[in-house]
Amino acid sequence: MATLPVFEILGFPVSLPILVISLLAVIIIPIVLGKLLASGSKSGPSSVILLAGPRDAGKTSLLLYLQEKTLVPTQTSTTPATIKLSPSVLSPTDSQDEGTSTKPFHIRDTPGHSKLRNTAINTIVQPTESCIGVVYVIDSAVLSIQARVTETAEYLYDLLLAIQKRYATLSETSTSAESVPLLIACNKNDLFTALPSAKISNLLQAELSRMKETKRKGLLNAGAGENDDEDLDFVLGDAASDQITWEGLKEFGVDVSVQSGSVKGGAVDGWTSWMSACLDA
Ligand SMILES: Nc1nc2c(ncn2[C@@H]2O[C@H](COP(=O)(O)OP(=O)(O)O)[C@@H](O)[C@H]2O)c(=O)[nH]1
Ligand SMILES: [Mg+2]
């Protein structure tokens, strides 16, 4: 019987089959591991529509309404919740008309408390998350109070900046970078103190401009601790002007729409057709 050749490696005798298996293992294991890790980092849910906004604006109510088609009692959320929905939940209540998309999508409800807003910002900034739209739910009935306008605009500013950053990062590597559209959903318009969407739109643009001016003058520390020094230079919109308008933000990959509605009144068709358009895009 012919004997297999035996090699000597570092003083140890090694037979040919062992040598071949070892060499294959050294080559194949890193390749397989690399593939597994790469796919793991992209395993987050696909087609995520993010719900963000100040506390008590109606984010969780909207999410549950899409599931149940009725106003369900909610509790203050402290953790993000991602649920999978069929696009059929977005078709208007009085119509058979369905969007062209049939693939399920995800809605992520995030806590509105100022200390828990990282989830929302991260969902936008992380390139591994396929965020296809942001619904910024606000309470239309409290915006005659200046402090509530400021609070509403502050969180909005951070989200718009995150969208702009994502777009800027993607544009560096691709000529056809997709922007993430943002809908300002002016909820609770069933309440008599609710302001109309056009008025809210103007109030928020004016407040964002005021904030940008304040940030630029260095009176406010942008991003308070979350962003590093380099990011402090990252200004929302045009660096040459403090004026912020939805129109002006478009060239920075930030596409803003404003629409009134009411979860309580079941008036959410405008918002759901906006979401449908995100799925079809
Ligand atoms: N009047 C009115 N109340 C609403 C509406 N949507 C939600 N609410 C109420 O607002 C409160 C806060 O809602 P919630 O969904 O928990 O807000 P979240 O903190 O943004 O998730 C709850 O008491 C809801 O019942 C609405 O369209 N009209
Ligand atoms: Mg909630």
Interval between CA 278 and ligand 1 midpoint (Å): 24
Query: Tell me: the pLDDT tens digits for 175-188?
Result: 777 889 999 999 99
pLDDT confidence band for 197 (50 / 70 / 90): very high
List Cα–Cα distances, 280 to 87, 99, 119, 180, 227, in angstroms: 10, 7, 25, 13, 33
Q: Whose CA is nearest to atom 9 of ligand 1?
A: 58
Q: How far is the CA of 106 from the centre of ligand 1 (A)?
A: 21
How many residues can be counted in the chain? Answer: 281
Domains defined along the chain, listed by start:
48-280 (3.40.50.300)
Instruction: Supply the pTM of this predicted model.
Output: 0.80
| pLDDT value of residue 111 | 84
To test the pocket of ligand 1, the residue of 69, 74, 197 to mutate (highest count of ligand atoms within 8 Å of its CB) is 74
Question: Distance of CA 255 to CAs 107, 164, 194, 235, 248, Å?
Answer: 19, 10, 24, 16, 9
Please answer whether residues 260 and 268 qualify as being in contact, where contact means their C-beta atoms are separated by less than 8 angstroms: no
Query: How confident is the model over 92-149, as pLDDT tens digits?
Result: 765 555 556 677 889 998 888 877 788 888 888 876 668 899 999 999 999 999 999 9
Q: What confidence tier does 83 reach under pLDDT thresholds 50, 70, 90? A: confident
Higher pLDDT pick, 216 / 35:
216
Please tell me if the CB atom of residue 59 comes closer than 6 angstroms to any atom of ligand 1: yes
Is the CB of residue 81 below 6 angstroms from any atom belonging to ligand 1? no
Which atom of ligand 1 is closest in space to residue 261's alpha carbon? 27
Angle, CA 212 vertex, CA 206 and CA 214 arms, to 5°: 105
Q: 188 C-alpha to center of ligand 2: Å?
A: 15
